Amino acid sequence: MAFFRGLTAVSRLRSRMDLKSQLRELIPEQQDRLKKLKSEHGKVQLGNITVDMVLGGMRGIIGMLWETSLVDPEEGIRFRGLSIPECRKVLPTAVEGGEPLPEGLLWLLLTGKVPTKDQVDALSKELLARSTVPAHVYKVIDALPVTAHPMTQFTAGIMALQVESEFQKAYGNGLPKSKLWEPTYEDCLNLIARLPPVASYVYRRIFKDGKSIEADDSLDYAANLSHMLGFDDPRMLELMRLHVTIHADHEGGNISSHTGHLVGSALSDPYLSFASSVNGLAGPLHGLANQEALLWLKSIIQETGSDVTTDQLKDYVWKTLKSGKVVHGFGHGVLRRTDPRYLCQREFALKYLPEDPLFQLLSKLYEVVPPILTELGKVKNPWPNVDAHSGLLLNHFGLSETRYHTVLFGVSRSMGVGSQLIWDRALGLPLERPKSVTMEWLENYCKNKAA
């Protein structure tokens, strides 16, 4: 009842108004209540955490086990202890001195060991052998309007793949808990293998002639993804290997990873769990930021031309912020330095497309945006993240349909979420069930503590 405590006499008089009007009236009062709670009691301790942490999206709370990778705020991601530059050195490649094969990263995530080239080649073949997509999946996608967002079509395809879940069958047959990792493994590998044909089907349905391109059995996982999309330039194949590798995993607390783990903890099978991950990835503060970041770069060129001056750029950034938008591709929930995933993409651009106008624009923004975000006084990390860079690289090689880019992030993320799901089952990790409280509970707690 305390929720209604703040209701004014006027609002009580209007109590016969419709539901939405009632809410419209209640919301400002509750927003003020939340602000007061934060400003007056934010630092109050609840055990080892503070009220600020409860209200602030659980930032900084260590609350889950994630074996495959770990993000250091200053240094960035390490996959099983290896940084991105180290992975680029030690993981097997398709081209000498080239980008790592994502199958090698999958092996590393699952086992903690760097595979040999032979092991990676065998895994490429295994994934290809698992990649047949049942016909009904394409029918499900076709049932959606072609104008549906690519992420909607992609996730519908994943849900349709779920029909073949080995885990669901095994669980129904009473497989003991200790063995559940095995059907989880089968589902995860099948899922990872089947995403490239599903993703490329969505692309060609929306943006091309609708005709699918068959996989080429001489190609590795990422190269085949590029080939099935319709891009065979060897530089694009290398880009896809880098793209899939660096987007695969980013410890457990980000939205897509956490969601996959959370849903999986209910013993939902890997398809159900990963479809949830992809839906989280489709949010503009998470994976969809790559779409938004590229659209933003393109809008700058459209408005100012490619010879934009530093002052014009500063104005544009301020205009974006003053219109209430965030600058996509900058900032991070955990990182406090430039994202190493940004830096390795920058290295790739310097090698293959130094003259690209969007790359040159982003290089200028690297100088311009961080000081402005710092000036705002509230942004914890003003530096660029992975999503600032990925879109322009794909765009350079012809994959210019910005709305599609998050789907490729999704294909890649299946490796991290899938690897951890296998370990979740192998380690018998429990149902995830953190405790939540109400504002009233927090207010009373803080009052009692002060007393």
Ligand X SMILES: CC(C)(COP(=O)(O)OP(=O)(O)OC[C@H]1O[C@@H](n2cnc3c(N)ncnc32)[C@H](O)[C@@H]1OP(=O)(O)O)[C@@H](O)C(=O)NCCC(=O)NCCS
SS percent in the chain: helix, strand, coil, step 5? 60, 5, 35
Active-site residue, from 387, 389, 405, 424 = 387
Residue with tokens 């999309």: 229
Q: How far apart are CA 68 and CA 113, in angstroms?
A: 11
Q: Which residue is nearest to ligand X (CB)?
A: 331
Least Å distance, CB 12 to ligand X, is 32
With CB under 6 A as the contact rule, which of the stretches 47-55, 133-141, 382-390, 397-405 interacts with ligand X? 382-390
How many angstroms separate the CA atoms of 94 and 91, rounded?
10
CA–CA dist 95, 352 (Å, integer) = 15
Of 286, 328, 389, 405, the catalytic one is 286
Nearer CB in complex with ligand X: 265/381: 381
Whole-number minimum distance, CB 73 to ligand X, in Å? 11
# residues near ligand X by CB under 6 A: 20
Residues 325-344 that bind ligand X (CB under 6 A): 326-333
Of 360, 299, 351, the C-alpha closest to 325 is 299
233 is catalytic: no
Q: How far apart are the first and last CA of the chain?
A: 23
Interacting stretch for ligand X, rule CB under 6 A, among 138-146, 319-327, 405-413, 437-445?
A: 319-327
Binding flag, residue 402, ligand X (CB under 6 A) = no
Choose the binding region for ligand X from 1-9, 142-150, 344-352, 375-383 (rule: CB under 6 A).
375-383
Sign of CA dihedral 215, 220, 225, 228: negative
Q: Has 286 been annotated as catalytic?
A: yes
Beta bridge mates, 384: 330
> 10 Å Cβ neighbour count for 122?
14
* For ligand X, the closer CB: 385 or 419: 385
CA–CA dist 382, 267 (Å, integer): 38
Residues 106/68, Cβ–Cβ less than 8 Å: no
Among 101, 151, 242, 379, binds ligand X (CB under 6 A): 379
Q: Does 71 bind ligand X (CB under 6 A)?
A: no
β-bridge mates for residue 100, sequence order: 93
Please identify which of the residues 149, 328, 332, 396 carries the catalytic annotation.
Answer: 332
Give the contact letters, 265-294, x = binds to ligand X (CB under 6 A), - = no: --------------------xx--x-----
> Residues interacting with ligand X, by CB under 6 A?
285-286, 289, 321, 326-333, 373, 378-381, 385-387
Catalytic (active-site) positions: 286, 332, 387
